[in-house]
Amino acid sequence: MSRKYFGTDGIRGKVGESVLTPEFVLKLGWAAGKVLRKNGGDGRILIGKDTRISGYMFESALEAGLASAGVNIELLGPMPTPAIAYLTQTLRASGGIVISASHNPYYDNGIKFLSANGAKLPDEMEQAIEDLLSQPMDCVDSSILGKAVRLKDASGRYIEFCKSKFPDELSLNGLKIVVDCANGAAYQIAPAVFSELGAKVVRVGTEPNGFNINQDCGATKPQAMAELVVEHKADLGIALDGDGDRVMLVDHLGEIVDGDEILYILASTRLIKEAPGTGVVGTVMSNIGLELALKELGIEFRRANVGDRYVMQILEQEGWLLGGETSGHIICRSKSPTGDGIVSALQVLSGMVGLGKTLHELKQGMRKYPQIMINVPLAGKTNPCHHASVKKAVSDAEQTLNGQGRVLLRPSGTEPLLRVMVEGRDADQVNQLAKGIAEVVAGVC
C-alpha cells in the first residue's frame, strides 16, 4: 500500500523540515493514540528515546498529542529500541513509541511505533495512523485526558532481561570487551550488562551530549573500535548503533564481523542444536557467502526485502527463529521480540565461551564474496532505476559477472539515497562495475 509518511522504519527526516516538526508530531501522537489504544493492553503508551537533543522536544509533543486522545503515558527516558519493545510487552501496555533516527546523525530524528507485543506495527496499523492525520485533530473531555508519569526502574528491568538471555552456567570472567555505545541510547545499559556478567569492559561512546550520537563511532563506523580492540589486546569489540537494535563485532585481530557473519555464527553454534530443521532469513543485501555456508550446514536460507520488519514477517510465516541484515539487525525470536544488539552479542558470546573458541575461529566456516555498495544521493523523487541508461548499465554488469555474482539497486527507506550493490568473485571487477553503475545513476539524478 502507498504511504505518505511511514518508511521502512517509521517516520524519519531532518529535524524542523518536512514532517519532523513539533506541530506534526503533536498530531501524530494524537493519531497514534487513537489507533494504539484499540490494540490491546491496558491503554498505556510507553515513550522512549535516544540521546539526540531534539528528543526532548518530540517527547513533549507526543506526550501532549497522546494525552489529548485520552491515552496515559509512561516516559522511559533514553532507552534502546529493543528495551522499549520488551517493556511494552512485559508491562502489558497498548503500545510503545521510539524517538530515534537509529544510525543517522543528530540533526535527524524519527518516530517509530511498537504494538502491544513489542513488534513493529504492521503496515495496516501505520496506514490507519496516516488516515487519521488527514482529519481534524480533536480533544477528549478534560475528565478523561491522559496523564504522564516516569518509569523510574526502566533501565534496571532491561539490564536484568538481557542478562537472563545468557546461559546461567556460563560467565564472561576473563574476557576483555570493548563496548562502543555510539553515544546513543544504550550508553548506560550495555556496559552494565557485560560487566555484571563478569567481563572487563573498555567503554567507548558513552558520553552523549545531544550532538555526538553516531559521530565517528558505533555500528556504522566500527573501524575506530577495531583499533582499540587491538590496542587494548581485547578479546573482541561490540559496537551498537544509536538506538541499540543493531550490532557489529570485531575479533581480537581487529577484523570486523558484520551481520551476515553473526548470522552464520549463531546458526552454526546455536540454531542447529536449538531448532533443527529450521532456516535463516537474510535480505537481498546478504552476502552470497552466507547462503553458501548455510547450505553446507544443511540450513535453508530465504531472502527478504531490506528492513527487519520484512525479515520478521518471513520468520513468523515459516516458524523460524533466526534472521537479520548485513547491517547488524539480528533477530533471535526465541530471545527477544525484536532485533536487539545487546542480546545478539550475548548469543555470540555464549557460543565463544561454551565452545572455548575465539570469535575469529567461529567465523571461519563462512567465506564472504567481495561486495561493494555505493550510496548515490537522490536529488528528486524519481527512481533512476527505471531510466534506460541505468537499466543498460545493470544489464552490462550482469553479463560481465556471467552468473558468478549479483547486482542490486535499492532506494534507501530512511535517506534520499540509491544504494548500488555489486557482488562477485573478483574484488577489482566488482569495484569497477559498482563505480560504473553509480556514475550512470548520478548522471541521471
Q: Does position 41 have pLDDT exceeding 80, yes or no?
A: no
pLDDT, tens digit, for every residue of 129-166? 999 999 999 999 999 999 999 998 999 999 999 999 99
| Separation of alpha carbons 54 and 15, rounded Å | 7
Contact 8, 311 (CB under 8 A): no
Q: What is the pLDDT of residue 106?
A: 97
* Average of per-residue pLDDT across 3-10: 83
Q: What is the pLDDT of residue 145?
A: 95
412 catalytic residue (yes or no) = no
17-21, 61-65, 171-175, 339-343: which range is least confident on average?
Answer: 17-21
Q: What is the pLDDT of residue 368?
A: 92
| Separation of alpha carbons 44 and 48, rounded Å | 13
| Separation of alpha carbons 271 and 10, rounded Å | 30
Contacts of 179 (CB under 8 A, 6+ apart): 190, 191, 194, 201, 202, 203, 204, 237, 238, 240
Residue type, 269: T
Contact 135, 69 (CB under 8 A): no
Contact 248, 328 (CB under 8 A): yes
Q: Which domains does the chain have, with CATH numbers?
A: 11-152 (3.40.120.10), 158-255 (3.40.120.10), 257-362 (3.40.120.10), 371-444 (3.30.310.50)
pLDDT, tens digit, for every residue of 211-256? 999 999 999 999 999 999 999 999 999 999 999 999 999 999 999 9
pLDDT, tens digit, for every residue of 301-317? 999 998 888 999 999 99
pLDDT, tens digit, for every residue of 47-101? 999 999 999 999 999 999 999 999 999 999 999 999 999 999 999 999 999 999 9
| Separation of alpha carbons 420 and 266, rounded Å | 28
Q: How far is CA 128 from CA 4, 31, 219, in A?
A: 12, 9, 33
Return the H-helix or E-strand segment holding 112. Answer: strand 108-114
Q: 137: closest CA among 59, 48, 25, 40?
A: 25
Q: What is the pLDDT of residue 40?
A: 64
The pairing of strands 44-49 and 72-78 is parallel
**Given 54, 68, 100, 102, which residue is catalytic?**
102
* Average of per-residue pLDDT across 260-284: 93
Q: What is the pLDDT of residue 38?
A: 79
Give me the percent of the chain exceeding a pLDDT of 70. Answer: 98
| Separation of alpha carbons 178 and 223, rounded Å | 12
| Separation of alpha carbons 396 and 29, rounded Å | 48
SS (H, E, C) 267-292: HHHHHHHHCCCCCEEEECCCCHHHHH
* H helix runs in 37-90, sequence order: 55-68, 81-90
pLDDT grade, residue 381 (50/70/90)? low
* Average of per-residue pLDDT across 320-339: 93
Return the H-helix or E-strand segment holding 95. Answer: strand 95-99
Question: Cα 248 to the chain's mean position, in Å?
Answer: 11
Q: What is the pLDDT of residue 111?
A: 97
| Separation of alpha carbons 261 and 222, rounded Å | 15
Q: State the CB neighbour count (10 A cutoff) for residue 68.
A: 20
pLDDT, tens digit, for every residue of 390-440? 999 999 999 999 888 899 998 887 678 999 999 998 999 999 999 999 999
What one-character-per-residue DSSP string does 113-178 give?
EE-TTSSBPPHHHHHHHHHHHTSPP----GGG---EEE-TTHHHHHHHHHHHTS-TT---TT-EEE
Contact 145, 30 (CB under 8 A): no
Q: What is the pLDDT of residue 42?
A: 65
112-121, 192-201, 325-334: which range is least confident on average?
Answer: 112-121
Tell me the pLDDT of the chain averaged across its residues. Answer: 94
Return the H-helix or E-strand segment holding 311. Answer: helix 308-318
Q: How far is CA 374 from CA 224, 412, 437, in A?
A: 21, 12, 9
Q: What is the pLDDT of residue 130?
A: 95
Location of C-alpha cell 495496516: 124
| Cell output for 86 | 520488551
Q: How far is CA 55 from CA 49, 59, 319, in A?
A: 6, 6, 36
Burial bucket for residue 277 (CB in 10 Å: 0-12, 13-18, 19+):
exposed
Q: Does position 173 have pLDDT exceeding 90, yes or no?
A: yes
Q: Which residues pair with 48 in a beta bridge?
A: 77, 98
* Average of per-residue pLDDT across 377-401: 89
